[in-house]
Amino acid sequence: MRLDLRHLHLLVAIDDLGSLHAAARRLHLSASALSLQLRDLEDRLGGQLFERRWRRLHVTPAGRRLTHTARAVLADLARAEAETRLLLAGHTGTLRITTACMQTYHWLPPVLESWSRAHPDTQVSIVGEAGVAPLDALRDGAIDLALVVGDAGDAPSDDRVQFTPLFRDELVALVSPRHPLARRRQVRARDLAAEAYWGAPDSFAPGTPLGDTLAADGVSFTRVTPLAYASGAPLEMVRANLGVTVCPRWFAEPDLARREVVALRIGGGLWLDWSAATARAGGSPHTASFIAEMKRHRPTPSAAG
DNA sequence: TTCTCTGAAAGTTTCTCAGC
DNA sequence: GCTGAGAAACTTTCAGAGAA
């Protein structure tokens, strides 16, 4: 069994466009050539990748699996090609970063914009998949810099990783102004546990500030709807008075300013210390200037509570 | 010889439109 | 609104050409 690059291009083009004819136009081939390629690929794999329905091709579950990988491989290859061109042209390379928390993408754009203007020869690449285990990615050399919660005191002892404190922000509970808890300035973990929770379950996983507070009170959320913070959906649910969510105060600052939600301190206050983790040796020479740029754009003390 | 391509032709399905 | 004819669009198959 041997998959060629042309097969990957074929899969993605048909999946995108829904027909062999359109895919052929995109790939600058004849439809008959693509038909043969597709049949060849299906013969090699021993099954259908696209279901022929009338004049359209619909991807099968098996085809979807392979198409997903084809997209990733082609995207990776395109990145590698672009970076290689930059290197060959004398540019200084790429700064690869990741973050352990999707919420940071709200303040990263101005950092990226400002830093890229000052470093036009260096491309910043956000390695999203490394966010799952950023320190591992750092040790493996897959990234140059990771935005993480915590510092050297929280991480397992490792001489290869260096932490630079960036800022501290407060984790608050958000409710609608119409919610009964909205009249309070402060809530206990057990008050929140009785509510419907909208947000990522890993935000109250064991070891997180919220998870530890819930555990200390001997309670846990029973009605949880997993939603990505980056989608904005948890805040929409809170605004509709359908429950609570917990996130950094600065993240909800626009909604707080418009009085569309109310922020409540949890217990005596839950705090997140954000750091930039970098490799002590062998990393990109640009990490220091990027960290300096992040410090310039960090959430302000008033927004961070 | 093998692989990959093009072009022609056949067959299928959808779209459009006139006629009822 | 329904029906049928013709046009258009599409996939598939086949024969043959060109490159390695």
Q: Closest Cα partner for A3 from A52, A73, A61, A57?
A: A73
- Which CATH code is given to the segment(s) A169-271? 3.40.190.10
Which nucleotide is nearest to A52 if distance is taken from CA to C1'?
C11
Using a 10 angstrom Cβ sphere, with 0-12 exposed, 13-18 middle and 19 or more buried, the burial of residue A100 is: buried
Q: How confident is the model at residue A262 (pLDDT cuts 50, 70, 90)?
A: very high
Its CATH class, for the domain covering A5-71, is mainly alpha
DSSP count for chain A of H helices, then E strands:
12, 11
pLDDT on residue A2: 56
Distance A74 CA to B9 C1' (A): 36
Which nucleotide is nearest to A36 if distance is taken from CA to C1'?
C12
Q: Closest Cα partner for A265 from A281, A249, A283?
A: A249
> What is the rounded CA–CA span in Å between residue A162 and residue A170?
24
Pick the CATH number of A85-164+273-297 from 3.40.309.10, 3.40.50.150, 3.40.190.10, 3.40.50.2000: 3.40.190.10
Q: Please name the amino acid found at residue A200.
A: A
Using a 10 angstrom Cβ sphere, with 0-12 exposed, 13-18 middle and 19 or more buried, the burial of residue A132 is: exposed
Query: Phi-psi category of A261—alpha, beta or left, where left has phi over 0 and alpha has psi -120 to 50?
Result: beta
Distance A52 CA to C2 C1' (A): 29
* Residue A213: strand, helix, or coil: helix
Distance A31 CA to C20 C1' (A): 24
Q: Which residue is nearest to nucleotide B8 (CA to C1')?
A: A32
Which nucleotide is nearest to A54 if distance is taken from CA to C1'?
B13
Fold identical between A85-164+273-297 and A169-271? yes
Dump pLDDT digits (tens) for A21-61. Answer: 777 777 777 777 777 778 777 766 777 777 776 556 777 77
A287-302 mean pLDDT: 77
A70, A77 in Cβ contact below 8 A?
no
In chain A, domain spans: 5-71, 85-164+273-297, 169-271
Distance A232 CA to C10 C1' (A): 42
